[in-house]
Amino acid sequence: MFQITPQAFSLDISDNSLKIALLKKKGRNLSLESFSQIILPPGLVQQGDIVNPDEIANWIKKAITQVEGRRIKTKYVLTSLPEERSFVQVIPLPPMKSQEINNALQWEIEAHIPLKSDEVFLDWQLVEPYNKKAKQIYVLIAATPQNIVTNYVRALDMAGLLPLALEVASISTARSLIEKGKSQNPTAILDLGIDRTAFLLYSGKTLCFTANIPLGSQHLTQAISEKMSVDLNTAENLKTKVGLDEKKGKEILQSCQPILDQIITETQKYISFFQHQCPLDYAPCESVKKVLICGGGAQLFGLSAYLSLGLKIPAELANPWINILKPPLKSVPKLSFTESLGFSTCLGLALGGLELIP
């Protein structure tokens, strides 16, 4: 009997917005068939927790009807789980068969996260070891509290959707940005959102760990507003038009510096934490060679140069299309490169869905 995996679209839910993407295989190539983004009213999702599932369901329906491109007909969906409420890390286990891992994790997980095994939704994948002589096996775990997951499933059900997969956002983001899922040297990813920045450390063929920095693009806007005594809308426009260009707006740069310097300090701390774990059997463990920047806040002019200088590591805008579009391009997506930086998680989710299709 053949097992057929239905077509599904991806849905990235955050505190501030919903994003949708639908990818389709066309021979050896992929194309973006549909996408949309809708801004949510404040308070419906708080720190990753869906407070009002029935209201979110209505907004999901609205986002589906407003897609650009082909109309979405499928009821199957791939949905992100909140990074800030989840625990992602690689843990060691004694050598065992794949079918035994799930059982072993129920006992091991409580030693690695501050929740009981029956309180979490657990996803895991076996990590291909970097050291072929490793005496243990390594498993990447992603655990999210059950009460958080329940509200996501309830909202999807109320929207008339069937979840094909639920995945912690950082795993989707890494799938989108790391070419062919392999990084020869350790790579840091900074996903700059509205109210937080997600830190991801990827090395070899696995995401090693993640962390959250409670600073985002709205904090930059607020800093500009306060320093220059302008309203938030004016501050946002100044940030967008001038960015970190000292020649065009020295006062804007000075406003943003304390926030950006805190992000740099936290990033350095997490990079140092990774390097103090070395050597590792499951991933290359040299110094971090590159920082990739994504998220809606990544569009800030001069951000890459500022982070490169502060971190003393080359920082560059990530490419969310690196595993989707293959040269020569058959067509240019309607979603611009700049906009796509904020769709990194959503596109990675959609890529994961295609991997389920034989």
- For residue 265, the domain's CATH number is 3.30.420.40
Please state, in angstroms and rounded to a whole number, the distance separating the CA atoms of residues 256 and 227: 10
**pLDDT of 279 over the 80 cut:** yes
pLDDT number for residue 133:
87
Residue 100 lies in a domain: no
Residue 17 lies in a domain: no
**pLDDT of 183 over the 60 cut:** yes
**pLDDT of 99 over the 50 cut:** yes
**pLDDT of 326 over the 90 cut:** no
Residue 13, burial from CB neighbour count under 10 angstroms (0-12, 13-18, 19+): buried
**pLDDT of 3 over the 60 cut:** no
Residue 269 lies in a domain: yes
- Quick check: 104 and 79 in contact, CB under 8 A? no
Q: In Å, how far from its chain's centre is CA 143?
A: 15
Please state, in angstroms and rounded to a whole number, the distance separating the CA atoms of residues 207 and 170: 8
pLDDT number for residue 249:
86
Least confident of 76-85, 134-143, 278-287, 343-352: 278-287
- Mean pLDDT, residues 37-42 taken together: 97
- Expressed as residue numbers, the domain containing 311 is 179-319
Of residues 163 and 249, more confidently modeled: 163
Q: What percent of the chain has pLDDT over 70?
A: 97
Q: What 3-state class would DSSP assign to 248?
A: coil
**pLDDT of 329 over the 80 cut:** no
- Quick check: 43 and 88 in contact, CB under 8 A? no
Query: What are residue 254's phi and psi, to 5 degrees?
Result: -65, -35
- Mean pLDDT, residues 118-146 taken together: 93
pLDDT number for residue 330:
63
- The per-residue pLDDT of the chain, averaged, comes to 94
Residue 257 lies in a domain: yes
Please state, in angstroms and rounded to a whole number, the distance separating the CA atoms of residues 358 and 218: 42
pLDDT number for residue 44:
97
- Mean pLDDT, residues 304-327 taken together: 95
Q: Could you give the C-alpha distances from 110 to 104, 116, 212, in angstroms and in order?
A: 11, 6, 21
Residue 253 lies in a domain: yes
Residue 194 lies in a domain: yes
Query: Into how many domains does the chain fold?
Result: 1
CB neighbour list of residue 179: distance below 8 Å, 6 or more residues apart: 322, 323
Residue 27 pLDDT level (bands cut at 50, 70, 90): confident
Please state, in angstroms and rounded to a whole number, the distance separating the CA atoms of residues 270 and 309: 17
Q: Which two tokens stand for residue 282?
A: 């499951």
Q: What angle do CA 125, 212, 246 make, to 5 degrees?
A: 130
**pLDDT of 350 over the 50 cut:** yes
Please state, in angstroms and rounded to a whole number, the distance separating the CA atoms of residues 6 and 73: 11
Residue 48, burial from CB neighbour count under 10 angstroms (0-12, 13-18, 19+): buried
* 160-179 pLDDT tens trace: 999 999 999 999 999 999 99
**What is the C-alpha radius of gyration for the chain, rounded to an integer number of angstroms?**
20
Least confident of 87-91, 184-188, 331-335: 331-335
Please state, in angstroms and rounded to a whole number, the distance separating the CA atoms of residues 354 and 7: 8
Please state, in angstroms and rounded to a whole number, the distance separating the CA atoms of residues 82 and 12: 9
- Quick check: 324 and 351 in contact, CB under 8 A? yes
**pLDDT of 232 over the 60 cut:** yes
β-pairing, 9-13 with 76-81?
A: parallel
Least confident of 74-88, 111-125, 162-176, 339-353: 111-125
Residue 339 lies in a domain: no
Kindly state the DSSP code that residue 42 receives in the 8-state scheme: T
Residue 9 lies in a domain: no
pLDDT number for residue 328:
66
Place of tokens 């990675």: 348
- Quick check: 274 and 283 in contact, CB under 8 A? no
Q: What percent of the chain has pLDDT over 90?
A: 84
**pLDDT of 1 over the 80 cut:** no
Residue 250 pLDDT level (bands cut at 50, 70, 90): very high
